[in-house]
Amino acid sequence: MPTWRRRLGRSARGVGFGVVGLLVLEYLVLPQLAGARESLHLLARVNVAYLLGGVALEGGAIVCYAELTRSLLPKESRPHLFDVLRMNMTTLAVSHLVPGGTAAGTSLGYRLLTTNGVPGPDAGFALATQGIGSAVVLNVLLWIGLLVSIPTRGFNPVYLTAAIVGAVLLAFFGALIFLLTRGEDRAASILRAIACKIPLLDEAKVEQVLRRLAARLDELAADRRLLRRAVLWALANWALDAASLWVFVAAFGYRILPDGLIVAFGLANVLAAIPLTPGGLGVVEAVLTSSLVGFGAPRGVAILGVISYRLVNFWLPIPLGGLGYVSLQYDKSVDRRRAAAELRRLAQEARQEVGTASEAGSDDPIKSTKLSQ
């Protein structure tokens, strides 16, 4: 493709994202901020203990997601929990900074895992499986909430939109899994044909990675214990995240019923999968606020509760992810320095042993004669 076309394509995408961002800002974010200014009097009676509880629950959700990542990695190459936490925070920060940031975050996560000793196919499998599994669990939770909520609270058109988005995602994931597990040879031939036309791609390596992913999927399906553990970690992640939202709203004086919480939370996160803004910024806030108000929360309470929740859920991971990335790079530099120091020590010991052997040989006339011969 000519350079001018690539530049034109990038410019068009940039303009498109800019227009979408302005529309979200104009019609979704600014009205919420205006409502927040009218609700500032609620800050005088906020429950600080609840706010701290919400932060703790969100931290627990992040830890559960890190355990989900670790559960999908082989034991022999599985990093420590603290390392995976820092990797996940780094990828989360990237996904919150650019539109469609999930792809960029996943790419960075893959690089961080492989540079920390995880084989490439295993890293790709873990990242893909945790994304798919997490999305499936979220959609199941949303549909359960809808089944409970619709008969008692009525139908809302937003429900249909979220259900369609969720169904499309699940259909795509299902087709991908079926292709990898039941149509592996067909998928391999398709990818080889594509890879051979792309510079710098080795079709043999692409096929090797595909077959490794298919084998890992078969192992996951056969290992019911591993599958159950992964599902439980994904469920715990979403449950603690939703509980964090509930506590932040309760901190301002309203306790939403469980069905309303699940529907509002599920709607916002399913619609956030549409890559309009980074991390669903603006979309999540608007959907959560309007849904919570629809389920009976006072508008001011809903706005301040959602803003507090998103400060921890969306904004806090950005600086923490930056710190996590810096610390990972520092650890690698320390490991390299330690390895270099260890090599220097071993080399010094080897030289000393050679020197000692030479001195011993020179002191022994017989050995000296043999050496000279």
139 belongs to a structural domain: yes
Convert the pLDDT of each residue in 140-168 to its tens digit.
898 888 888 878 777 777 677 767 776 77
* Residue of 25 and 114 predicted with greater confidence: 114
What is the arithmetic mean of pLDDT over 54-62?
96
Whether residue 6 has pLDDT greater than 70: no
259 belongs to a structural domain: yes
127 belongs to a structural domain: yes
* Residue of 44 and 38 predicted with greater confidence: 44
147 belongs to a structural domain: yes
345 belongs to a structural domain: no
142 belongs to a structural domain: yes
365 belongs to a structural domain: no
Instruction: Enter the pTM of the model.
Output: 0.74
Domain range for residue 124? 23-78+118-315
pLDDT > 90: percent of the chain: 28
What is the arithmetic mean of pLDDT over 350-357?
69
Element (H, E) at 110: helix 101-115
**Closest Cα partner for 303 from 226, 222, 248, 357?**
248
Say how many domains are in the chain.
1
323 belongs to a structural domain: no
Give yes or no for a contact between 251 and 244, defined as CB atoms under 8 angstroms apart: no
**Closest Cα partner for 321 from 154, 97, 23?**
97
Convert the pLDDT of each residue in 240-267 to its tens digit.
999 999 999 999 999 999 988 999 999 8
Confidence of residue 236 (pLDDT cuts 50, 70, 90): very high
